[in-house]
Amino acid sequence: MDLNIIQPENDAVFEIESLDLPAIVTDKLFIASQANQVDIFALDNGFQLNFSENIKLLFVSKLDNLGHSQWYFRVIDENNSFPF
């Protein structure tokens, strides 16, 4: 599937449907990333996975008016080399 989002000129940010992503989901992601030798970094409002020097996946959250965490993801592919 190619959603045409991994293009530097597109720079799209996509909303994840579920609110308040459970901590176990992010914990498992950190474990799976380390097991697969993918660099993962905690950010103030989420985390970033570095698949290579030029390909990154960001997951960030923002509190809505009701205090729920709304999560978003963004793909950065500086060389426009992979479909997503």
Residue 24 burial (C-beta neighbours within 10 Å; 0-12, 13-18, 19+): exposed
pLDDT band at 3 (very low <50, low <70, confident <90, very high): low
Residues 67, 3: Cα–Cα separation, whole Å: 30
Nearest to 56 by CA among 10, 6, 2: 6
Report pTM. Answer: 0.71
Report the mean per-residue pLDDT for the chain. Answer: 80
Residues 17, 68: Cα–Cα separation, whole Å: 12
Q: What is the pLDDT of residues 43-83, one digit of tens each?
A: 999 899 998 888 888 889 898 888 888 888 888 877 777 66
Asked whether the beta carbons of 2 and 84 are under 8 A apart, the reply is: yes
Q: Which two tokens stand for residue 31?
A: 């474990």
